Amino acid sequence: MQTDSNFIFVLFGGTGDLSMRKILPALFEAHRAGMLAAAGKIVAVARGVETREAYLGWVEEHVKPHVAKNGVVDESAWTGFLARVEYVHIDLGRPEDFRILRDAVAQHDGTRVFYLATGPSLFVPICRALAEVGLNQNARIVLEKPLGYDLESSNAINDAVGEIFQEEQIYRIDHYLGKEPVQNLLALRFGNALFEPLWRREWVESIQITIAEELGVEARGDFYDNTGALRDMVQNHLLQLLSIVTMEPPHSMDSDSVRDEKLRVLRALKPIDERDISKVAVRGQYHAGVIKGQSVPAYATEPGVRTESRTETFVALKVEIENWRWAGVPFFLRTGKRLADRVAEIVVNFRPVPHSALGANALRAGANRLVIRLQPNETIRLYCLAKQPGEGMNLASVHLDLAFDQFFREGQMEAYQRLLLDVIRGRLALFVRRDEQEAAWRWVEPILNEWAVSTKPPKPYAAGTWGPAASSAMLAQHGTCWLEEEN
């Protein structure tokens, strides 16, 4: 479906890595699919190159490889896309330069979208400069994570941006909410009578949410060493996925109905007492190791990282939700860098049958399970028990697959593409509201504070493994294990 109105998409940080790898490729795919209004324009803002011609050359070099399909680019679509792209060379540290941007934007009609693909320290100065030249009217502002370093700094940014833009103008992006399986999770739960009656404490034994990366900190050592996995991944991505998995059915799919239900989950998270943090939270840091046959260095030797750094590159948490639906069900959240594989998945372990006449296999943990794979291959897989062919009643685990790329002929929409189209169309449901963000920061702060003063270093783990042994031990205390350990 094509956007129903013209737009001006202003991209701050137009030469940055995020713009090259994600934002411009997503806009190109929307253009190629005919989903952007014909007169819609993209205005890139940066100071790294001087002219539009130089910028288009930069885009040709850095964006084109990310839009190739089997090494081939649709040249006709690419040419048409570049015709949409304009460039404004300004210094973000000079508010008077924003008059140049104002004059460029004034040449086009339509909804104004300002995407801040910059560091969070520039969010407030950019917003203030936009307001000074009158560009905060009829506009939407997109803020990338991380939004602050803790609750206090997050509130400071939100307060300052909120003085310039109304809450309904602010789109705090979390790209995991735009992924196809996350959308299908809502359809699975609320569109099928089969699952919703089982989606509660009486039938669910435990739930795991994992976001694992093979990559290390790459060229982001300076940033990451002052951030860590808890801020970078748990406070936003993992808690947002948890709220989607566990929220009550909204009365509709409008933006505030969905976000109201997510907020109720975040506010129902059981507070973590500082004395219990060591029991329910594991932090680790990768040492040198081997990933798929290639030796990789320890975190402490990565460029930009302090030699004696205690920043965590791995976090595993046991979480509880204090409400009627989920009381007593353990939720295990995990994320880390330099792990054995790149995977993001949600694992719902249903309780075994209360009594089996078919043998012990029917009572074993994990016999009934739903696995929602977010990456790399987006699938939903339902595991159950079936009789093996032959003599006797021997049970084996089988699964039913929903592989999106095989079932649906049309290609899947990448997360950023969906979210950018929602911004242009004014849809807020898949973006994080301020009170959600505050609730998430408030819950993680005791862990942040305890780790900041702790004399114990993060637990070491070799690159290419699944993290510290303490992570597995935490699950073992509850009679379960991570999915890959069972397999």
What average pLDDT does this structure show over 267-283? 94
Residues 27 and 136 in one domain: yes
Give the residue from 39, 20, 379 showing the smallest Cα distance to 188: 379
Q: Identify the active-site residue in 62, 237, 399, 478.
A: 237
The number of domains in the chain is: 2
| Among candidate residues 144, 168, 192, the one where a domain is terminated | 144
Q: Is 296 a residue whose pLDDT tops 90?
A: yes
Q: Cα–Cα distance between 354 and 480 in angstroms, integer?
A: 18
Give the residue from 10, 14, 8, 11 showing the smallest Cα distance to 40: 8
Cite the DSSP H helix spans in 367-414: 404-407
Residues 135 and 192 in one domain: no
Q: Cα–Cα distance between 195 and 138 in angstroms, integer?
A: 42
Burial class (CB in 10 A: 0-12, 13-18, 19+), 13: buried
171 found inside a domain: no
Task: Please state the separation of Cα 414 from the chain's center in Å.
Answer: 12
Cα-atom radius of gyration of the chain, to the nearest Å? 24
pLDDT band at residue 2, thresholds of 50, 70 and 90? low
Q: Does the annotation place 62 within a ligand binding site?
A: no
Q: Is 3 a residue whose pLDDT tops 60?
A: no
- The model's pLDDT over 346-364, given as tens digits with 9 standing for 90+, comes to 999 999 877 676 666 655 6
Sheet (strand 111-116) strand order: 85-89, 41-46, 7-12, 111-116, 139-143, 170-172
Q: Cα–Cα distance between 355 and 22 in angstroms, integer?
A: 50
- The model's pLDDT over 339-348, given as tens digits with 9 standing for 90+, comes to 999 999 999 9
- The model's pLDDT over 223-238, given as tens digits with 9 standing for 90+, comes to 899 999 999 999 999 9
Residues 107 and 220 in one domain: no
Q: Does the annotation place 318 within a ligand binding site?
A: no
Which residue range is the domain that position 118 belongs to? 7-144
Please, what is the angle between helix 255-268 and helix 434-453, to 10°?
30
425 found inside a domain: no
98 found inside a domain: yes
Residues 139 and 181 in one domain: no
Q: Does the annotation place 145 within a ligand binding site?
A: yes
pLDDT computed for residue 69 by the predictor: 81
What average pLDDT does this structure show over 76-101? 93
Residues 89 and 20 in one domain: yes
pLDDT band at residue 73, thresholds of 50, 70 and 90? confident
Residues 181 and 49 in one domain: no
Residues 212 and 330 in one domain: yes
Residues 364 and 455 in one domain: yes
Q: Does the annotation place 337 within a ligand binding site?
A: yes
Residues 372 and 443 in one domain: yes
What average pLDDT does this structure show over 156-175? 96
Q: Are 361 and 393 in contact (CB under 8 A)?
A: no
pLDDT band at residue 164, thresholds of 50, 70 and 90? very high
127 found inside a domain: yes
* Residue bearing the bigger pLDDT, 364 or 157: 157
* Integer angstrom CA distances of residue 442 from 135, 161, 180, 351, 435: 33, 20, 29, 32, 10
Three-state SS string across 308-333, please?
Answer: CCCCCCEEEEEECECCCCCCCCCEEE
Mean pLDDT of the chain: 91
What does residue 357 show for φ and ψ, rounded to 5 degrees? -90, 5
162 found inside a domain: no
Q: Cα–Cα distance between 222 and 305 in angstroms, integer?
A: 6
| Among candidate residues 97, 124, 144, the one where a domain is terminated | 144
Instruction: List residues bridging with 344 in a β-sheet.
Output: 211, 375
382 found inside a domain: yes
- The model's pLDDT over 182-201, given as tens digits with 9 standing for 90+, comes to 888 888 888 888 888 899 99
423 found inside a domain: no
SS3 275: helix
Residues 188 and 302 in one domain: yes
- Enumerate residues 6+ apart whose C-beta is below 8 A from 86: 41, 42, 43, 44, 52, 104
Q: Is 31 a residue whose pLDDT tops 90?
A: yes
109 found inside a domain: yes
Residues 225 and 121 in one domain: no
Q: Cα–Cα distance between 306 and 394 in angstroms, integer?
A: 56
Q: Does the annotation place 213 within a ligand binding site?
A: yes
pLDDT computed for residue 146 by the predictor: 78
pTM: 0.92
Q: What is the CATH classification number for the domain harbouring 229?
A: 3.30.360.10
Burial class (CB in 10 A: 0-12, 13-18, 19+), 85: buried
SS3 78: helix
Q: Does the annotation place 47 within a ligand binding site?
A: yes
Across 75-221, the runs of DSSP E, i.e. the strands, are 85-89, 111-116, 139-143, 170-172, 204-212
What average pLDDT does this structure show over 455-465? 95
Of 61-65, 145-149, 229-233, 265-269, the poorest mean pLDDT is in 145-149
Q: Does the annotation place 179 within a ligand binding site?
A: yes
Q: What is the CATH classification number for the domain harbouring 114?
A: 3.40.50.720
Residues 364 and 222 in one domain: yes
Is 62 among the residues known to form the active site? no
| Among candidate residues 88, 122, 144, the one where a domain is terminated | 144
Give the residue from 382, 377, 383 showing the smallest Cα distance to 406: 377
